[in-house]
Amino acid sequence: MGDRAGVTGMQRAELARRTGCNLETVRYYEKVGLLPEPPRTASGYRSYDSTHERRLRFVLRARELGFSLDEIRELLCLVDERDRPCAEVRDVAAVHLAVVRAKIADLKRMERVLKDVVAQCGDGTLPECPLIETLFQERNAI
Amino acid sequence: MGDRAGVTGMQRAELARRTGCNLETVRYYEKVGLLPEPPRTASGYRSYDSTHERRLRFVLRARELGFSLDEIRELLCLVDERDRPCAEVRDVAAVHLAVVRAKIADLKRMERVLKDVVAQCGDGTLPECPLIETLFQERNAI
DNA sequence: TGTGCAGTCTGTAGCAACTACAGGGTCAAG
DNA sequence: CTTGACCCTGTAGTTGCTACAGACTGCACA
């Protein structure tokens, strides 16, 4: 409970711990404009609160879903505008979904070829390795 | 035919053109030790032949299959050793296959979530965007 | 009051795997 | 003899972090 509501005065390490984010990455996200610059204590230490935590969780979650930092920046703009961003957000996600699917297709092609050649190698006692032979063949023959 | 047998005295641009490799990448592969340093003309121009082309094709093809440059270096060592590398080559490929499969699994998880939230957004007229809400939720809830 | 240690700050350098210049040299055609 | 296309080198940029070095702060314990 106390863990969820209105926390203030967090230092970087605590924010990182609470979100599971790497310590340095927090500062990096601030540098590239994904997190707002937090207020500072008298001695210059960053002082985070729940809004920072919420925003960082958003970024981390979007990264888990494979969004690039540019895409996340775009999403955050839409979130901030609050105008009726649902259609635009959906479009960003749909584009990203297409990219993810293309990557899956790529990897599946790789997987198929690799599985085949590994199988052809059998117990590895062949004099001419079929895998090596495959790799010396033309590209685009996949 | 003339395109396949014993070509000599190729310049970088021709090697790149023949293999479909980016011009700068040829030099990069040489720098990181994936291609041997070719002989030079009197004025210092690189002069490639079919063996370079063959090796470059190997590298490019392995890259297409997602092997890292380190893995390719390892494969090329095994190719050069020629001792009976089939078993070792198969092991390198098997490890890589596992990595590829893990990536596919990752991307499929992303795809599932993205597909769901995009569908939830429907025609994009909802006041509270379900995609945004999802992104603000806990991590590891995928 | 001192001292030690953990935390924070900044800037910068490193990783993969390229890609793209800038600023010069070379070479063949017209 | 000039023009343009090629070649050379080294270095800087890309993406998304991660890890340091060197200095400062802040708190507990003796």
Q: Do the beta carbons of residue A89 and residue A97 sit within 8 Å? A: no
The CATH number given to whatever domain includes residue B48 is 1.10.1660.10
Identify, with chain letter, the residue nearest to nucleotide D25 (CA–C1').
A43
- Find out whether A49 and A36 touch, Cβ atoms under 8 Å: no
Question: Is there a domain that residue B141 lies in?
Answer: no
Name the residue among B66, B111, B142 with its Cβ closest to that of A101: B111
Decide: B76 and A135 in contact? Cβ < 8 Å: no
- Tens digits of per-residue pLDDT, B68-118? 999 999 999 988 887 777 888 999 999 999 999 999 999 999 999 999 989
E strand or H helix at B92: helix B86-121
Q: Which two tokens stand for residue A101?
A: 């699917």
**How large is the angle between the packed helices B69-81 and B50-64, nearest 10 degrees?**
130
Tell me whether residue A9 is in a domain: yes
Instruction: Note whether residue B44 is domain-resident.
Output: yes
Can you tell me the mean pLDDT for B29-33? 95
pLDDT band at A125 (very low <50, low <70, confident <90, very high): confident
One-letter amino acid at B24 equals: E
A121 touches chain B (CB under 8 A): yes
Residue A121: is its pLDDT beyond 80? Answer: yes
Please report, rounded to a whole number, the percentage of residues in chain A having pLDDT higher than 90: 68
Please report whether residue A52 resides in a domain: yes
pLDDT at site B142: 41
CA A73 to chain centre: 13
The confidence band for B1, taking pLDDT boundaries of 50, 70 and 90, is: very low
Helix (H, G, I), strand (E, B) or coil at A64: helix
Contacting A residues, span 27-86, partner chain B, CB-CB under 8 Å = 54, 57-58, 60-62, 64-66, 75, 78-79, 84-86
From the candidates B21, B79, B107, which should be mutated to test the interface with A, based on the most A CB atoms within 10 A?
B107
| A5 or B18, greater pLDDT | B18
Banded model confidence at residue B4, pLDDT cuts 50, 70, 90: very low
For helices B50-64 and B12-19, give the axis angle rounded to 10 degrees.
40
User: Which whole-number Å values give the CA distances from A141 to A80, A117, B66, B67, in the listed order?
Assistant: 48, 14, 15, 17
- Region of poorest pLDDT, from A33-47, A96-110, A114-128, B31-45: A114-128
Predicted pLDDT of residue B81: 83
Contact status of B121 with chain A (Cβ, < 8 Å): yes
In a domain, B36, yes or no: yes
| Nucleotide nearest B23, from its CA to each C1' | C19
Q: Which tokens go with A74?
A: 């775009």
Residue B46 counted as domain residue? yes
User: Which has more pLDDT, B83 or A5?
Assistant: B83
Total number of domains constituting chain A = 1
Nearest residue (CA) to C1' of D7: B45
* Confidence tier at A142 by pLDDT (50, 70, 90): very low
Do the domain assignments include residue A38?
yes
Does A139 map to a domain?
no
Residue listed under structure tokens 């396949």: B4
3-state class (DSSP) for residue A117: helix
Is B118 near chain A, with CB under 8 Å?
Answer: yes
Assess A139–B contact: CB distance below 8 Å, yes or no: yes
pLDDT in tens, A69-86: 999 999 999 888 877 778
Residue B53's pLDDT is 95
State the number of CA atoms in the 13 A half-sphere of B50 facing the CB. 8
Phi first, then psi: what are they for A40, rounded to 5°? Answer: -115, 150
- Containing structural domain, residue B45: 1-67
